Structure 1
Amino acid sequence: MNKQVANFNNPVYPIMIAIGIAHLINDTMQAVIPAMFPLLEKDLGLTFTQLGLISFVLNIIASTLQPVIGFVSDKKPMPYALPIGMMSSFIGIAILAFSTQYEAIIVAVLFLGFGSAVFHPEGSRVSFMAAGSKRGLAQSIYQVGGNSGQALAPLISAFIFDIYGQRGAALVLLATSVGIVVLANISKWYKKQLEQERTSKKKRILVSSLPPLTKKQVGTALTLLFIIIFARSFYTTNITSFYVFYLMDHYDVSLRIGQILIFTFMAFGVIGTFFGGSLSDRIGRKNVILLSVVVPLPFCLALPYVPLWAAIIFLIIIGALIMISFSVTVIYAQELVPTKIGTMAGLTTGFAFGIGAIGAIVIGVLMDHKGIDFTMIVVSLLPLLLLVALFLPKDKPASTL
Structure 2
Amino acid sequence: MNKPVVLADDTLVAPIVVDGTDAPRPASAGPAFTIIGAIAVSHLLNDLMQSLIQAVYPILKENYALDFGQIGLITLAFMFTSSLLQPFVGAYTDKHPKPFSLALGMGFTLAGLLLLGFAHHYWVILLSAALVGTGSAVFHPEASRIARMASGGRFGMAQSTFQVGGNLGTAIGPVLAAAIIVPLGQPAISLFSVAAALAIAILIYIGRWYKPRIVKRKAAQAVRHADGPSPLRTQIALVVLMVLLFSKTFYMASIGSYYTFYLMNKFAVTTQAAQIYLFLFLGACTVGVFFGGPLGDRFGRKYVIWFSILGALPFTLALPHAGLLGSAILSMLVGFVMSSAVPAVIVYAQELMPHRLGMISGLFYGMAFGFGGVGAAVLGEVADLKGIDFVYQLCAFLPAIGLLAVFLPQMKRSKL
- TM-score normalised by the chain length of structure 2: 0.90
> Aligned partner of 1:363: which letter?
L
**Given residue 310 of structure 1, which amino acid in structure 2 is its aligned partner?**
G
Matched, 1:24 2:51: no
- The verdict on how the C-alpha distance between 1:207 and 1:188 changes in structure 2, with shifts beyond 3 A counting, is farther
Instruction: Determine helix, strand or coil for the equivalent of 2:150.
Output: helix
Using a 3 Å threshold, how does the CA distance of structure 1 residues 207 and 171 change in structure 2: closer, same or farther? farther
Letter in 1 for 2:283: A
Instruction: Tell me if the contact between 2:163 and 2:343 (Cα under 8 Å) persists in the aligned partners.
Output: yes
**Match for residue 295 of structure 1?**
311
What is the CA distance between 1:207 and its match in structure 2?
10
State how 1:1-400 maps to structure 2 within 5 Å: 6-10=25-29, 11-194=31-214, 211-399=227-415
**Alpha-carbon distance between aligned partners in 2 of 1:299 and 1:56, rounded to the nearest angstrom:** 27
Give me the whole-angstrom Cα distance separating, in 1, the residues matched to 2:344 and 2:62.
38
C-alpha offsets along residues 375-395 of structure 1, whole Å, 9 cap, x if unaligned?
Answer: 221112211112211221122
Structure 1 or 2: more helix by fraction: 1
| Aligned mates of 1:374, 1:366 — CA distance in 2 | 8
Deviation at 1:397, TM superposition (A): 3.3
Unaligned runs of 5+ in 1: none
Letter in 2 for 1:176: A
Q: Compared with structure 1, are the counterparts of its residues 319 and 207 closer, same or farther at alpha carbon in structure 2 (3 Å cutoff)?
A: farther
Identical amino acids, percent of aligned pairs:
39
Gaps of 5+ in 2: 1-14
Cα offsets for 1:157-180 (capped at 9, x unmatched): 321221111112122111111100
What is the aligned residue count? 392
Inter-CA distance 246–375: structure 2 relative to 1 (3 Å threshold):
same
**What amino acid does structure 2 have at the position aligned with 1:396?**
K
Distance in 2 of aligned mates of 1:91 and 1:165: 19
Q: Which amino acid aligns with 2:27?
A: F
TM-score by length of 1: 0.93
**Structure 2 letter corresponding to 1:338:** P
CA separation of 1:184/1:46 partners in 2, compared to 1, >3 Å: closer, same or farther? same
Distance 2:333 2:244 in 1: 18
Contact 1:35 1:156 in 2 (8 A): no
The answer (yes or no) to whether the contact 1:34–1:153 under 8 Å persists in 2 is: no
Aligned partner letter, 1:29: M
CA distance in 1 between partners of 2:227 and 2:249 (Å): 28
Q: d(CA) in 1 for partners of 2:54 and 2:359?
A: 27
Q: Distance in 1 between matches of 2:266 and 2:67?
A: 19
